[in-house]
Structure 1
C-alpha cells in the first residue's frame, strides 16, 4: 500500500483530540502534573511527550498488524488471556465513568453560561450521537475540523500572554521543589492512556502504510508537547494567581473582554466534547462485539442509561472516579511500553 500523508494527519488530529480533554485545555492537568513543580518542569514535558510517542506507535502497530476493532483485542495481544479479560472489564468501567464525567462537564459548562445543566447534558448527548452515525471516519473527520481550531486558540492565548508579560523567565527567586518531576511525567502519560487505547485500537484498520503510524505519532506528540510547553511556561508566570482560579487558563485571560472569555470557554466545551466522542466510540466498538447493533445505537443507548447519573454533579464525579484508575493506567502503560521487547511480540513477528 502507498503512504498517505493525509491519513497521517487525520490520525494525528484524532490522537490530539482524544488527549486534549477539559483537563488539558483548562490548564489544570498541565499545572498539577508539571507547573506546580516549578521551573524544572519543562524537561518532564519532554519525557512525557517521548512516552506518549512510544505508546502511540506501539498501540497503532499492534492494531494495524492485527486488524483490531476495539481495545479488548489489543489487551489480548499484550496480556495473557485471563489477565486480558480482567483488564477488559476495568477499561470498560473506566470508559463508562469517564464518559459520564464528560457529559456532566457539559452540563456544568452550560451552568457557567447561566444556562440549564440538563440542557447542557442533552446538547452533549445529541452532538456525540451525530458523530457516531459515521463511525470511526466520522470521529477522524470531526477531529480534523475541531482540533486545529482548539489548538490555534490555546496557542494564541499563550503567545499573546507571553507577548504582553515578556518572554524572559521571571521566577528565578522561586525555591526549587524538593520532589523529583520525572515521576509526574510518567503518571501524566499513564493518565491519558486508556482513552487513547480505546480509540487507537479502532484506527489500525484505517492505516495503509507503516510510515503513516510514525508520522501520525510525530505530528500529534509534537503538537501536544509544544502546546504543553507554552502552556506550562505561561502558567509559571502567573503561579501566584493559580490558586484563585479553578480553571488556570482564566488566569492568562483575566484582562480579556467577556466575548473573548466566552469564546475560550467554548473551546473548553469542545475539549470535553472531543473526549466524550472518543470514549463513547471506544465503548460502542467494544460493546458491538457483544450486541450486534450499529455503533450509533449502542452508543446512544449507553448515553441514555448514563443520563440519570449525571445528576451527581461534575465535581463529585471527578473527585471520586478519577483517582481509582491511577494504578490501572500505570500498569497498562507499562505493559504497552514493554511489549516490543517481550516474548509475545517476538512470537507475533515470526
Structure 2
C-alpha cells in the first residue's frame, strides 16, 4: 500500500507540474493537437507514451545518479559544457513560466472574480510560501488535491458536451501525410518541452523518495493521467467549429454548460496555475541550494521577488525568442534521454 500511495503522490506532482494555465484554457491543446483533427488524437497517444516512458526514466536516472537537482541529470545527458547551457535555459524558462503564471493568477482574480488589484498576486504568494515551507510534502498535498479535480472536471465536460453534440472534428479538414507528419512532430515537441521543464521537479523529488518501484509506477500513472486529460479536453474542443479561432476555447464550451461549472472551471484554472508555480519554484530552489547555503525560506522569498518584478515587464517578446529556441534544445534532451541508459550503480 505504501508503494501505491507514494506512486500516486509522484503521479500527482508529475501531472500538476506539466499542466498550466495554457492547458486549462484549452489553447495549448488546440495548438499542439486539436487543430490536426483525428491526427491530433493519434499524436496525443504518442505524447502519452513519451510521458509514461521518459517521465519514469528521468526519475530512475535521478535515483541512480543520486542527483539533488536537474543540473546533474543534464551533465549526464549532455556532458559538462553543453549542460551549462541547458541548465541556464531551464532556469530562465522556469522563472519566466512562474512570472507568467503569477500574472495569470492576478488577471483571474481581477477579471473573473472582480476583486481589487494585487489580491490574486498576494494570495498566490502567501499560499506559495506556506506550501514551500513543507517542502516536497507540500507539493504532494496540493497536487494530490488538485489533480483528481482536473481529471473529474475534464471528464464531466466531455460527457456533457457529447450529450449535446454528436459531431467531433467534422469541421476540421486535415488530410495527407504532411499533416500527419506535423502532428507527430507536434507530439514530440510537446513532450520534449514539458519533460525538459518537469525534470526540475522530478529529479529532486525522485532523489528524495529513492524508491525505484514507486517512482516507476508513479511515472506510469502520471503519464496515463496526462493522456486521459489531454484526450478528454481534445474531444471536447473538437466539437467547436473553429477551436483555433478562440483565445480561450475551453471557456466557450464551459459557458454553454451549467452555470455552476463556471466557478469550478475558475477553480481548476487557478489550481493549475498554482501547481505550476510551486513546482517550478521547488525546482529552482533545489538548484540554487547547490550554489549558496541559505535557508530555503529566503531563497523562496528572493525568487518570488524576482518573479514578481518580471511579471510586470513585457515578457512576451522574450518568450517569443526563447520558446522556439528552447523547443529545439528540448528535442535534443528528449533524444538523449531515449538513447542514454539508466546509470548502473
1:78/1:315 Cα in 2 relative to 1: closer, same or farther (>3 Å)? closer
Greater alpha carbon shift after TM alignment, 8-17 vs 134-143: 134-143
Q: Aligned residue for 1:329?
A: 330
- Residue 129 of structure 2 corresponds to which residue in structure 1? 129
Equivalent residue number for residue 224 of structure 1: 226
RMSD over aligned CA atoms reads: 2.3
Aligned length: 341
Q: Structure 1 residue 172: deviation in Å? A: 7.7
Residue 176 to residue 96, structure 1, CA distance change in 2 (3 Å)? same
Note the C-alpha offset of 1:259.
Answer: 4.1
- When residues 117 and 317 of structure 1 are mapped into structure 2, their CA distance, relative to the original with a 3 A threshold, is farther
Q: CA deviation at 1:305?
A: 2.4
User: Hey, what's the Cα distance between the residues in 2 that align with 1:90 and 1:237?
Assistant: 37
In the other structure, the counterpart of 2:95 is: 96
- Deviation string 1:50-98 (CA, Å, 9 cap, x unpaired) is 1112211111111112222211121122221222222222211111111
Cα 1:174–1:311, aligned 2, differ >3 Å: closer, same or farther? same
TM-score, normalised to structure 2, is 0.91
1:44 corresponding residue in structure 2: 43
Unaligned 5+ runs, structure 1 = none
Q: Give the whole-Å Cα distance in 1 for the aligned partners of 2:51 and 2:6.
A: 20
Q: How far apart in 1 are the matches of 2:310 and 2:198?
A: 24
CA drift at 1:231: 1.3
CA separation of 1:173 and 1:73: change in aligned 2, threshold 3 A: closer
Q: What's the offset of the Cα at 1:258? A: 4.5
The correspondence of residues 26-65 of structure 1 with structure 2, limited to 5 A, is: 26-65=25-64
Q: Greater shift after overlay, 91-100 or 5-14?
A: 91-100
Contact 1:136/1:202 (CA < 8 Å) preserved in 2?
Answer: no
Aligned counterparts of 1:316 and 1:151: Cα–Cα separation in 2: 33
Q: Structure 1, residues 6-63: CA drift from partner, whole Å, max 9, x if none?
A: 1111101110101111111221111100110122211111111111122111111111
CA distance 1:175–1:15, change in 2 (3 Å): closer
**Aligned partners of 1:31, 1:287: CA distance in 2, in Å?**
35
TM-score (norm 1): 0.90
Long gaps (5+) in structure 2: none
Which residue number in structure 2 is paired with residue 298 of structure 1? 299
Match runs of 1:161-172 below 5 Å: 161-166=161-166, 169=168, 171=170
CA contact (8 A) 1:25 1:154 kept: no
In structure 2, the residue matched to 1:192 is 194
Partner of 1:146: 146
Query: Aligned residue for 2:344?
Result: 349
